[in-house]
Each structure stands twice: as C-alpha cells, then as structure tokens.
Structure 1
Amino acid sequence: MKVVIDARMYGLEHAGIGRYVSSLIEEIAKQDKKNKYFILLRRKYFRNLQFSNSHFQTILADWPHYSWQEQIFLPLLLFKLRPDLVHFPHFNVPLLYGGKQVVTIHDLIKHHSRGQATTTKAAWLYWPKYWVYRWLMGRVVRRAKQIITVSRWTKKELQNYYPAAAKKITVVYNGVGSLFADHRQRQLQSEDVLEKYQVKRPYLIYTGSLYPHKNVRRLVLAVRKIGINLVVVSSRNVFWRRFRHQVRQLQTEKLVNLVGFVPDEELVVLYRQAEAFVFPSLLEGFGLPGLEAMSVGTPVMAANAAALPEIYGPAALYFNPQDTDQLVQKINSLLNNPKIKERLIERGLEQVKKYSWVTTARQTIKIYESCFGL
C-alpha cells in the first residue's frame, strides 16, 4: 500500500495540529515497515527531516495551506505520485483531488466561533470565506473514505452536522510527547529558565493560542482579583497582539507575563514550577496542553466544557468558564489546600497513561488498512 501523508503543517508553529502531524508521522515510521509512505513537507522541514525507515520518503510540497497553490499544485503532485491513499490531517483537502482519502477533523470550532473577533480579515472578505469553509467541510466529510476525530465530543459534533458520516468516523485519541513523559531525565535548570523569561513566583500558566474562544481574558480577570502572576505561552501573532492590548486595558501588565513561543524543553520547566495549569477554553476538540502539564506533575484546572471533561476525566479541577467568580474561588481553593494539589497531581499522572502516540499510530495504520478491507 502506497500512502501519502500531507505533512505541510508539520512543526510546532502550527500549534496542536503541528504537534499531531509530527508525533503521528514519527511514530508510524517506527512501527510500519510494510507500507510505503510519501511525506509532503514545506521547505523548512524537507531539508532536515530524516527517517531511518527505508519505506519513508520526503517530498517537497512548499505550498501554504488554504492557498491557491494548494488547490492547483497539490492535486498535480498527487496525480504524479499515484498513491493508494492520502491522509489529510486537516480539512484542507484540494477541491480537484478525488482519490481515496482519510481525513482527521480535530474540531468544528469554526462552526461555533465566528465573527469579526475571530479573524484578521475585513467583513467583506471574512464572511464569504466562512461560507466557503462550511461548504468545503461538508464536501470533505462526504468524500472521505474514513474520518478520524480526536475525541468523542468532536465525533458527536460531526454527527450532529453531518449525520450521513456517522458510520465512517473513528475516534483516535492523541498522545503525549516523550519529552514530557521523560522530563526527569531532561529537565533544565529551573532558575535559569525562569530568569530567561522573567517569571515571578508564584504563578499560574496557560499555554495555547489566543483566539477568542480560548477565553483567556476571563483568566486574566480572575488573576487580577487574586493578585497572582500568570504566564501565557503563545506564539506571537495578531491574536497575541490583541490579547496584549486587552492586558493593558485591564491594567494587569505587572501580573501577566506574555512570554511568546517556548521550546518544549523549557516549557517542561515552566509547567513544573507553576502552581497550576489553567485551561478556560469554551471550545476544545482535545486539549493536549492539559495532558502535557499533568505528565510533568502540574495540577490542572479546566473549563467544564467541550471535550475537556472527556479527555481529563477525574484528573482536573473543573469550573464554569463563563463564571469569573467561580474561577477565582476554584483557584483560591487549589492554592490554599495542599491536599487538593496532591490529589490532582496523582490523578493527572495516572490519566496521561491513557494517551500514547504509539497507540495513536497503531490505530491510524489500522484505519489506513481498513480502507482496503485489510
């Protein structure tokens, strides 16, 4: 079987999807010595990514996602490669490609979170693009041979919008990276990292993007009431700049430390030294950052919303993400009660054992093979 994986979103600059793509491919390369794989990459990773598995070959496909180049040149490349199957790890399947395909759908957040606050585009451009997205998603769901979702919550959402797709959806959970699982062997000097990012103790930590549905503004309101420091780890982009403006408006610059992007080996330290990781997101298809925090022994607080209760189970302290006062009360209860922290740490270390990229890769390979009745 000849499989193409569209890995153009490989790398941490593409946030959760980037980590999904990189971790999945690296693990499949360790496991599958039978099938032939072509890995499509942007130039940055094409130059450096090497596989010891001789069945893996990298192909340069230096076209941005959501671009006209993607729509024209990617189908031409796939026609040339003539794969038996293509795995698209996002919904951006080219319109002109009609071959057999597996698609991973991480969430349907764009179905819910829409409007000018969610975009950098002018209204005259945003709304046509939004309706094109809705049309494209429906088309992708109809044409996919198999669909992977990363949680039961996303599967249910998908079934609600596209009932006919129910029989071809399989839930395959993400894993937790080995860097986080093996942090005790790799941890850097804590004080050096905290000094580098000018982090003041005690602090809470949030990692992830700063789209409006992430609800981080409410977390800022909570830390302002409590007077505790907050470290926000997020790549610098237009939403980062908008959030920085909100922090200034709320006069919380002395409490909120916007550190930008942080490499994983330093992120481990920031997680470990935090009083808790807080995830106030209103819409989440999986919630990988919380599992990363659990894996290094950091207590996790999470919104009682979307997929988070499914993924974190009994290992998080939940709160209503629309209620700032309740969030304040929950943070204070964690800060002032060592037994709550200890219980969350113990449960978190147990919870992360359920999530392994080894299992993710094994289940994904089975889905590839099921497309051919194997």
Structure 2
Amino acid sequence: MSDAPSGPTSPVRVGFDATSLLEPLTGVGTVADALLRGLAARSDVEVHAFAVSWRGRGRLADAVPAGATVHGRPLPARLARMAWAHADHPTVGALVGRVDVVHGPNFVVPPGGRAAEVVTVHDLTALRFPEMCTPDVLEWPGLLRRALRRGAWVHAVSASVADEVREAFPEAGERVVAVPNGLAPPLPEGPATDAAAGRALAGAERYVLALGTVEPRKDLPTLVAAFDALAAADASLRLVVAGADGLAADELAAAVAAAAHGDRVVRRGRVDDHQRAALLRGASVLAYPSRYEGFGLVPLEAMAVGTPVVATRVGAIAEVAGEAALLVPERDRDALADALHAVLHDPLIAERLIDDGTSRAAAFTWDAAVDGVVELYRRAVDAR
C-alpha cells in the first residue's frame, strides 16, 4: 500500500475496529455491523478491518463483509486497554498499516498515530448510571478523554447524545457530530417469522413485548408492575420478556415472583433473528420503559413491522420516536399501565401509532447514516 496521502478524489483509507462483531450482536454490534457493511460497499472508502481480541481472532474473517480487507494481527483487549489508558501506543498502524482515519464504533478508538481518529459514542450510561455498568464499561470515559486530547472526533448516534458529550467533555469542542443510526436490515420474512409464529412463541394471542438484554436501565420491574395492574381485568393478556440475561436478571426474577399475575409473564432468553422478527410482528404492543437511551433501535424495529410502541420520554427516545409512540415518564407504573391500556383497548390509538410508526421508521436509513459517517471521516482527515 502506498504511503502517499489520499488526494481529494482518492478513497478514504479507514481502519475499522470490528471487535464487536465477534460475539452475538447486541445493539452496539448491530450498529457496527451495519456501518461496516455500508462502508465496504462504497467505492470512495477503503476499509481495513481489525479486532482488539485474542480469543475471537479466528472469527474475524467470517464476521467481516466482502469488500473490506481483514487484518489478522490480534491484540488482546485487556492489554490494549491498559496500554491506551496510559500511553498512545500501540497505534492503529501496528494493526493495519497506514490508514487515513481509524474508527472505533464501540466507545473506544485506538491511537491513530498519523491517522485521524473517530469514536462512536452510543450513550453516556457509564457517566450517568455507573452503578449499572460492568468494570470494562466504566473504563471508556477515561479512554475517551485521552482520545479527545489526541484530537479525536466523536460520532454521536443522536443529537441528544451529542449534547451530552459536549457537556461532559467540553474539550471536544466542535469535534462532536450527530449522525443518527439507520434501521437494521429488514427483519426476516416467512412462516417462521410472521405474527402467528410470534404468538406461538409467546403462548398467547395477545401479549405485551419487552425486547432486549435485561439491564438495570431497561427498568423491567416497573413494566412487570404495570402489567400486573392490567392483568386482573384482562385475562388473556401476557407479558413476554425476550433477551439475554444481564445485570438486572435477578431483579426481574424478583419482580415477577412478587407479582400477583407473575405466572402470566413469559421469560424467553436470547432470541435469534427469526424469533425476534416473529415476536415483534405478533405483539399487540412493544413496551420500552427504559430509564435512559442514546438512540432506541428496538422501538424503530417495532414501528417498521407495524407494532405500536409505548416508551418512556427519556434520553433520545423522544427524538427518535417523535409522535409515533405513546411516551410516558420514567419509573411511573400508573402512566405506563394507562398507555398500554389505551393501545390495547382503543383501536383508533393503535391504528394511529401503526401508521405514524411505519412512516417514522422509514426515515432512518443506513445509507444516510453511512453518508454522514464518511463525511465525518473527511472532516477529521482534513483537520488533522
């Protein structure tokens, strides 16, 4: 590869950290995967994918799409974070050679050396709710500060997160750019993913769905309490909680055990793409009672398949959902129960949310997101 700098019409050479693609995709991994696929398909970008992982090094080639160059020089994650917390080595050049910009899509960006740096910030949970975070998540604010001192640019996934970053990290200055996520590729179609399949998975014709990793900020105990308030007068209704166990798994189990109608709460663990699609299509309503979100991809997924959404008015949820969801205050059992009741029992409200939601979801595309990220790359390179 030539060491000559990219000219005005030359492809931008991007070192892309694909570590989050090595495990089952979470929300962050889904974003990284969509960005990488969009970048790899473009002629104005030359993608060089690497992973900061020793254990997952053998899976990188399978995780990276065609069109991207895979670099198999592994770097153990723990050692890398320890080094980057105290020094600006090793740089991305040690992983992929010469690039114009390095992009860390999961809160942490390797030192760029002579390359510009872009880091994606999905939310500020580590600062706002540190008690809800694992030790590795609590490391990223310090790593971000160090990156900002090197001149890194921040890709914020919503205007809400961009504002929070500017407030928490004033040293970032004008180097914070909001580029909203797109909606993930269309959910799978077919008999295994239709509404009937979702109802079969739920074991009910009518159900409220909560979808996502069971984390403290998702506030599922308040949802269980709201469902319990509805269940006495609605014998056919079920609550389905689908997603991998996280830090709030025990809290959820305790809430279900304490509920008068806890036997009508259906707990499903991690779901694959087909099960996810089926559950979303079959649900009477998606409940998203989160205490904080930097974007909110699940509500958009529900809207895209014609499922009404009830969510909390926190973080970026109002920005993303607009008027296409019923929004309630956080941790308010009664308000959440009232909103769910309205969707379940007033067809006009449900139909309005379905129509508005379909239009709202269509406004978030990965083509637009990738365009915005490439423009950010060029700004970062020009400012270097």
Count of residues in correspondence between the two structures: 358
In structure 1, how many angstroms separate the alpha carbons of the residues matched to 2:362 and 2:196?
Answer: 29
Check conservation: 2:194, 2:282, Cα contact below 8 A: no
Paired AA for residue 381 in structure 2:
F
Structure 1, residues 139-158: CA drift from partner, whole Å, max 9, x if none?
Answer: 23333432110111111111
Structure that is richer in helix per residue? 1
Among candidates 90, 106, 110, match of residue 126 of structure 2: 110
For 1:18-97, what aligned pairs fall within 5 Å after superposition?
18-30=29-41, 32-41=42-51, 42-43=56-57, 45-49=59-63, 51-53=65-67, 56-60=68-72, 65=77, 67-72=78-83, 75-76=89-90, 78-80=92-94, 81-94=97-110
Paired AA for residue 336 in structure 2:
L
Q: Do structure 1's residue 276 and structure 2's residue 280 form an aligned pair?
A: no
In structure 2, how many angstroms separate the alpha carbons of the residues matched to 1:186 and 1:200?
Answer: 17
Q: Which runs of 5+ in 1 are unaligned?
A: none
Q: Do structure 1's residue 243 and structure 2's residue 248 form an aligned pair?
A: no
For 1:1-374, what aligned pairs fall within 5 Å after superposition?
1-10=12-21, 13-30=24-41, 32-41=42-51, 42-43=56-57, 45-49=59-63, 51-53=65-67, 56-60=68-72, 65=77, 67-72=78-83, 75-76=89-90, 78-80=92-94, 81-94=97-110, 99-115=115-131, 118-119=132-133, 130=138, 133-180=140-187, 188=193, 190-195=195-200, 197-227=201-231, 228-250=237-259, 252-373=261-382
TM-score scaled to structure 1, two decimals? 0.86
Aligned to 1:46, what secondary structure does the other structure show? helix
Paired AA for residue 72 in structure 2:
L
CA pair 64-235 structure 1, distance change in 2 beyond 3 A: farther
Check conservation: 2:287, 2:311, Cα contact below 8 A: yes
In structure 1, how many angstroms separate the alpha carbons of the residues matched to 2:218 and 2:74?
Answer: 30
CA pair 229-193 structure 1, distance change in 2 beyond 3 A: closer
Paired AA for residue 363 in structure 1:
G
Paired AA for residue 176 in structure 2:
I
Farther off after superposition, 68-77 or 214-223: 68-77
Paired AA for residue 265 in structure 2:
V
Offset of residue 251 of structure 1: 5.4
Q: Which runs of 5+ in 2 are unaligned?
A: 1-11, 232-236
Offset of residue 304 of structure 1: 1.1
In structure 2, how many angstroms separate the alpha carbons of the residues matched to 1:62 and 1:241?
Answer: 36
CA pair 45-342 structure 1, distance change in 2 beyond 3 A: farther
CA pair 363-256 structure 1, distance change in 2 beyond 3 A: same
Identical columns (%): 25
TM-score scaled to structure 2, two decimals? 0.84
In structure 2, how many angstroms separate the alpha carbons of the residues matched to 1:39 and 1:9?
Answer: 12
In structure 2, how many angstroms separate the alpha carbons of the residues matched to 1:302 and 1:237?
Answer: 20
In structure 2, how many angstroms separate the alpha carbons of the residues matched to 1:337 and 1:51?
Answer: 45
- CA RMSD in angstroms comes to 2.8
Offset of residue 90 of structure 1: 2.1
